[in-house]
Amino acid sequence: MKGYFGIGVERLSKPENAGNLFRSAHAFGGSFIFTIGALSSKAKLYSDTSRSFENMPFYEWPTIDAAVFPEKCQLVGVELTDEAIDLPSFRHPRMCAYILGPERGSLSETVTARCDYVVKIPTAFCVNVSVAGAIVMYDRILNLGRFADRPLMPTGVPPQLPPHQFGRS
């Protein structure tokens, strides 16, 4: 897949969620991870069992104005608002950074104003920040990856699975 992505959080209140998000970014092939006004120490990221910050650049910026993203990097906010683009309809930029807000709040107006796009996951309510980030990264792979089309099932014919799979006997 051409291009790169980074992912980060603004004003995150639960370090374990950042650790989970950053571990997922490492697994999905992220290029960098970051926080905006969130964490004060990588040591708090105990849920990042892949130790992603040792394998990819990790940036801690106090404000979005202090953030320095790579040239041509587009900022994509992830926020559940009426104005946001539905994630399944969004064409991911080749070079971008995704930013998610805190668990008990929204992206700040300052961050939202800096975003080139704001997308939403079409859910009834907000999901955990690390789950939201993983959904966005998976959607990016589906959107920009070069995967074969999924096979179509013949109408009305359920797939036949061996008896030992999925609890069937």
Write out pLDDT tens, residues 75-133: 999 999 999 999 999 999 999 999 999 878 899 999 999 999 999 999 988 888 999 99
**What is the CATH code for 4-146?**
3.40.1280.10
Question: Following CA atoms 63, 66, 71, 74 in sequence, which dihedral angle do they give, to the nearest 10 degrees?
Answer: 10
Could you state, in order of their start, the residue ranges of all structural domains in the chain?
4-146
The whole model's pTM is what?
0.84
C-alpha distances (whole Å) from 157 to each of 10, 154, 160, 169 are 47, 6, 9, 19
